[in-house]
Amino acid sequence: MPVTHKVTPITTPILEGCNGDVLSVENLHFHYPDGHEALRGVSIKLCEGDKVALVGPNGAGKSTLMLHLNGILNGEGEMSIAGMRIEPNNLPVIRAMVGLVFQSPDDQLFSPTVFEDVAFGPLHMGLPEDEVHARVDEALEMVRMSKFRERLSHHLSVGEKKRIAIATVLSMRPQILVLDEPSAGLDPRARRSLINLLRDLPITMLVSSHDLLMVRELFPRMVIMDEGKIVADGPTAELMEDEALLEAHGLEKP
């Protein structure tokens, strides 16, 4: 008995009319010092409120692209966040606007306590103390981890660390959230609560993932990358039906 999944039809046109007011990348090229060409002319635009999934096989360049969005790496091409060009002299401002969350939460958290980690961004921005406290509370509330404020991040579970990692960038009130494989390595319950969390966050996000079930559930728009290029960009519901396309780029229809 074949199981047919119900796919919610997407009625609003998601690509037309977006001028890239939150994120705009034009023809981005990058090669690593060893000569490996990781990005070959990537262009992508995101608008206010877009929740976009970035999928593709390992080594497709997803993480490399993400590291460009706050200037950790700098390749050749035009990039801007909320109208501001990503260039060396405005990187501090860009970094406050782009909430980049690394795949491994251990790479993200570097302070002894949860509070200090979440407070780092706002403190570095030079905000007054009560504002910092307010933002930490708000960010922890958003990821539903308020009780963990004084805990040592070192002792948390992967799922908890992941939420804290997201809170550490939410406290900067970024324009866009950039998450690298947020559901990797989570048990089903932690994954479910992460999905609910991402659904509820009212913020533009670009999320790379191999978890196509989550992609179908959460993201109306999907971008497929392979070998450093964007090979498809469109409504998730449509692209998911194109099994030949998915297979050609190392993906499986969920």
Partner 1 sequence: MHADAFDRFHEAESRLHRLDPRVKVVVTVLFILSNALLPDGAWAAFGLSWIVLLWANHLSSLGVDFSFRRSFIALPFALAAVSAIFSPLGVPLGDWSIGPLTLIPTDYGLIKFGSIILRSWLSVQAAILLVATTRFPDMIHAFEHLRVPAVLTTIVSFLYRYMFVLTDEVMRLLRARQSRSGSVAGLKSGRSVAWRARVTGNMAGQLFLRSYERSDRIYNAMLARGYTGQLRTLHAHVMQSSDWFFTALSIVIILLLQFTGRI
> At closest approach, how far in Å is the CB of 67 from partner 1?
8
- Token pair for residue 148? 């963990």
- Rounded CA-CA distance 110/114 in Å is 10
Q: Which residues pair with 98 in a beta bridge?
A: 176
3-state SS assignment for residue 197 = helix
Nearer to partner 1, 208 or 236 (CB): 208
- Token pair for residue 5? 């999944």
Binding mask 180-199 for partner 1 (x = CB under 8 A): --------------------
Residue 70 interacts with partner 1 (CB under 8 A): yes or no: yes
**Start-end of H helices in 98-187:** 105-108, 114-124, 129-142, 158-170
* Radius of gyration over every alpha carbon of the chain, rounded to an integer in angstroms: 18
For the segment 132-191, give every residue that binds partner 1 (CB under 8 A).
Answer: 154, 168-169, 172
Tell me the window of 7-15, 51-59, 108-116, 233-241 that interacts with partner 1 (CB under 8 A).
108-116
Residue 237 interacts with partner 1 (CB under 8 A): yes or no: no
Rounding to the nearest 10 degrees, give the CA dihedral for residues 180, 183, 184, 186: 150
**Cα dihedral 160, 166, 168, 170 sign:** negative
Q: Which of 81, 97, 230, 240 binds partner 1 (CB under 8 A)?
A: 97
Residue 83 interacts with partner 1 (CB under 8 A): yes or no: no
Residue 112 interacts with partner 1 (CB under 8 A): yes or no: yes
> At closest approach, how far in Å is the CB of 102 from partner 1?
7
3-state SS assignment for residue 211 = coil
Q: Which of 44, 55, 86, 120 binds partner 1 (CB under 8 A)?
A: 120
Q: What does the binding site for partner 1 look like in residue numbers (CB under 8 A)? A: 70, 72, 92-97, 100, 102, 106-112, 116, 120-121, 123-127, 154, 168-169, 172
